[in-house]
Amino acid sequence: MKQTRYVTTPIYYVNDKPHVGHAYTSVAADVLARWWRLQGHEVFFLTGTDEHGQKVEKAARDAGMDPQAFTDRVSQHFRDLTGTLGLSNDDFIRTTEARHKAACSALWDELARRDEIYLGHYEGWYAVRDEAFYGPDELTERDGVKYAPSGAPVEWVREPSYFFRLSKWLPELLRRFDLPEGHPERIDVQPEARRNEVRAFVQQGLKDFADKPEKLDISISRTSFTWGVKVPGDEAHVMYVWLDALTNYITAAGYPDTSAERWKFWPASAHFVGKDIVRFHTIYWPAFLMAAGIAPAKRVFAHGWWTIEGQKMSKSLGNVIDPVALVAEYGLDPLRYFLLREVPFGSDGDFSRKALANRLNGELADALGNLANRTLSLIQRNCEGKLPAEAQVTEAEKDLFQYLDLLNIEVSTNIEAQSFHLALEHVFRAVRTANSYITAQAPWALKKTDPPRMEAVLRHLHSVLRRVATMLQPFMPGTMAALLDQLGVPADARDLAALATPLPGGTALPPPSPLFRKIEIEAT
């Protein structure tokens, strides 16, 4: 039976249009979803929009619109972006949908039934921009305004509120963070530095509030605004937007109907998040679920943030990059490739046009594009466009094939560990080795001197290209489909397992055409 895999992006706030940071999380999740499909797993890939809360309500008000009409409009930009980015999501969830409100209410009822929720009074500092509460010692003050560590201004809030008994679940969370790899109850927070950070944060909280742990409980309802999911049985309250938002991951899997076909995907295999929202996903979310008797997600991958040409991306600096414009300028696959190649996943990185052009020109157009073009043009010209028969591996290509045999494992291990950049580096090492091989063997010169050897060399190069193109599909789906077409690989022979079956010699190959267009690099 096929194994199931469930991968998610965060759901995006609809207070503004999508930018390249959003595109990044989505593309990374898409690569993993596609990779798992390539491995033959049954995958469910979810993305969507987070539409409730004060931040969105305020954005709607600023736009002079009713929140529902406003969220309908902005959510559509994110839905359109899934097409622009070539995302292979199986569903797109909006938190204003009826199915989601039903799931939130059911989860709330379950928590209440299990006595995990109590009514109290909230008094403290709230940052609307982060939709988060902060302790007084976390704040800094400038010109009479207090700010959260994220830089968001906070306001004093005092209102009746329901609380969730978070304190009760913290020791259990620590136990699960530290379980060994492969243990079914492990909550795998990646990269490791983030796991240590979250663990230290929980430990510190437990230490600081050892004699009054209920201080660690969190407020999960608000009464000062109405744009949210109503608390069942107490409609003066709306649910805290993070409880509402996080629940999307089980809504889409069918919750509360745990006999739904999709429920087989839960618990999620991997939540992709940015480093700013790790705590919500690794502390609140698993605690809510455990408290409701539901298994928490297996893994949370946290990536870093992009700066733009060395600066923080912000509206006031006017340097917010629209992913739609980038795709129009550079093409989708070069952008997808660049985002995952340039920066180790998990670290912060800088987005610059020059770096993008360098990657595109050097690695895609020169290294991969030329290898494909040279090989396929020679087959076209010198072999009447027919794939030469399989040939024996000789001393000359021993190294190349030794490396290629390991490539599947290297790429797979690195993608599983969210090291997308290393996976790509391994693939490109194979491409570079193949380029040295073609130069050393000079098949163009063998046509006159040793035609059988020429055919053997071209067949070996074809094998390298097929393997590389197959593995790069999750990163550059459109371009790799074009390359696999040019390589004569049938549509049903493009997954990893199919690599074990060589294409028959004599397969007719279409005339090749260039895969990548070079970009002019402006002198600086």
Question: Given the rule CB under 6 A, which residues bind ligand MSP?
Answer: 10-13, 21-22, 24-25, 50, 245-246, 248, 273-274, 276-277, 305-306, 313
Q: Coil, strand, or helix at residue 65?
A: coil
The least distance separating ligand MSP from the CB of residue 480, rounded to whole angstroms, comes to 25
Q: What is the rounded distance in angstroms from the CA atom of residue 18 to the CA atom of residue 26?
A: 11
Quick one: how far is CA 428 from the chain centroid?
22
Q: Which of 312, 249, 342, 323 is nearest to 87 (CA)?
A: 323
Number of residues that this document lists for the chain:
524
340 or 400: CB nearest ligand MSP: 340
Q: What is the rounded distance in angstroms from the CA atom of residue 328 to the CA atom of residue 326?
A: 5
317 or 440: CB nearest ligand MSP: 317
With the CA atoms of 244, 249, 255 and 258 taken in that order, what torsion angle do they form, in degrees rounded to the nearest 10? Answer: -150
State which H helix or E strand residue 168 sits in: helix 166-177
Q: Which of 262, 298, 284, 120 is nearest to 201 (CA)?
A: 284
89 or 435: CB nearest ligand MSP: 89
Place of tokens 């940071």: 21
The least distance separating ligand MSP from the CB of residue 69, rounded to whole angstroms, comes to 20
Q: What is the rounded distance in angstroms from the CA atom of residue 96 to the CA atom of residue 248?
A: 10
The least distance separating ligand MSP from the CB of residue 351, rounded to whole angstroms, comes to 9
Cβ-based neighbours of 101, under 8 Å, separated by 6 or more: 229
The least distance separating ligand MSP from the CB of residue 430, rounded to whole angstroms, comes to 29
Residue 495 φ then ψ, to 5°: -95, 175
100 or 462: CB nearest ligand MSP: 100
The least distance separating ligand MSP from the CB of residue 158, rounded to whole angstroms, comes to 25
9 or 375: CB nearest ligand MSP: 9
**Closest residue by beta carbon to ligand MSP:** 274
The least distance separating ligand MSP from the CB of residue 150, rounded to whole angstroms, comes to 11
Is there a contact between 359 and 337 (Cβ–Cβ < 8 Å)?
A: yes
321 or 393: CB nearest ligand MSP: 321
The least distance separating ligand MSP from the CB of residue 385, rounded to whole angstroms, comes to 45
Is there a contact between 139 and 153 (Cβ–Cβ < 8 Å)?
A: no
16 or 485: CB nearest ligand MSP: 16
